[in-house]
Amino acid sequence: MPPTPKIKRPSSVTVEEFFRVNEKSLKLKLVGSDVGFARKISEPSVNRPGLALSGFFTYFAYKRVQVIGNSEHSFLEGLDPKLRAARFSQLCSWDIPCLVIARSHRIGDELIEIANSAGISVFQTNMMTMKFLNTATIKLEWAFAPNMLVHGCLVDVQGIGVLIQGDSGCGKSESVIGLLQRGGSLVADDAVRLRLVEDREVVGSAPDITRGMIEIRGLGILNVAAIFGVSAVRLSKRLDLIVELVRGAKTEDLERVSASADSHDIMGMKIGRVTLPVEPGRDVAGLIELAAINFKLRTFGYDSAVEFDQRLLKKMTDEQLG
């Protein structure tokens, strides 16, 4: 098994990264200056600054993205212009990352100018406030999730996320082609970005530059969607099983029959692992598919190795009893 790569744990995300990555999904539009793009979001959540606008700053979550929804906008509109400017200036005096105005509401140019003068960028979205809060929180948790970059190919095989690993030249990409011909979907080839989501599952995806692409020796870079159809590509997939391809002398140490299920630790999560020997003439893609199906059976409570042991024990018992 390749050595475990270093785990990255992001402590912050810049406002520019948050905007560029989520501009379309969160329907964000810059209505002020980009003066605050270098500011950092230090907590993977969002905050509605209603109490802060009323002058109460105790326990103010200033490290989060600040969202002005219906109630905050209505409160500001009901204030005297001078008091409104004073309260907004007080809010912007804190080191907040950025401001997002929900439901396509508009705030006065004077308030935008106050924010820009304080080095804070202002965005607008037409999303409902609660929908934006939920979606933005998910996006931020994804950005802040512990992650690592591993070498291998991640494929969706009958709903099972299979990470294929092995030495260079052992046939990983060729096996993926065989799985795609059997109806599988490619998530990532060669480099796989793994993220620990909510401390409960590991999700894999491809770097932007290689998404939907696969490299085959002798053929070069191939566009999977163009050859196999768009259904043959997935943006992300939960990691369920690791298949390590080995060849040569390494295959001599493999057990022919084993009732124990092997596993590998990925960022604190136990991931099932299968080691498959690679030899000329072996249908490696078919074996990987069988490994995925067998893993699925185990999740349903059926284990072929356990059943074999039970049969063997029964036969031995029957023979002893005559």
- Residue 86 CA neighbour count, 13 Å, CB half: 7
Maximum Cα–Cα distance for the chain, whole Å?
99
Instruction: Please state, in angstroms and as integers, the Cα–Cα distance from residue 214 to each residue in 142, 185, 190, 228, following that order.
Output: 25, 12, 8, 12
Question: What is the number of residues in the chain?
Answer: 322
Q: Could you say which of 172, 193, 234, 237 is catalytic?
A: 172
Given 167, 190, 262, 303, which residue is catalytic? 190
**What single letter denotes the amino acid at residue 114?**
I
CA distances from 247 to 92, 228, 279 (A): 62, 29, 7
Q: Is 256 a catalytic residue?
A: yes
Residue 151 known to be catalytic: yes
Q: Are strands 153-157 and 201-205 parallel, antiparallel or unpaired?
A: unpaired
Q: Which residues are CB-contacts of 289 (< 8 A; sequence separation ≥ 6)? A: 157, 158, 179, 182, 184
Give me the half-sphere count of Cα atoms (radius 13 Å) on the Cβ side of residue 92: 22
Among 27, 29, 151, 264, the active-site one is 151
Q: How far apart are CA 164 and CA 237, in angstroms?
A: 14
Is the distance from CB of 278 to CB of 247 less than 8 angstroms?
yes
Active site residue 172: yes
Q: Distance from CA of residue 190 to its chain's centroid?
A: 17
The residue annotated as part of the active site, out of 82, 217, 256, 318, is: 256
Structural contact between residues 126 and 148, judged by C-beta atoms closer than 8 angstroms: no
d(CA 46, CA 50) in angstroms, rounded, equals 13
Active site residue 315: no
What's at 274, amino acid-wise? V
Tell me 128's DSSP state. -
Whether 236 contacts 203, CB under 8 Å: yes
Active site positions, annotated: 151, 172, 190, 256
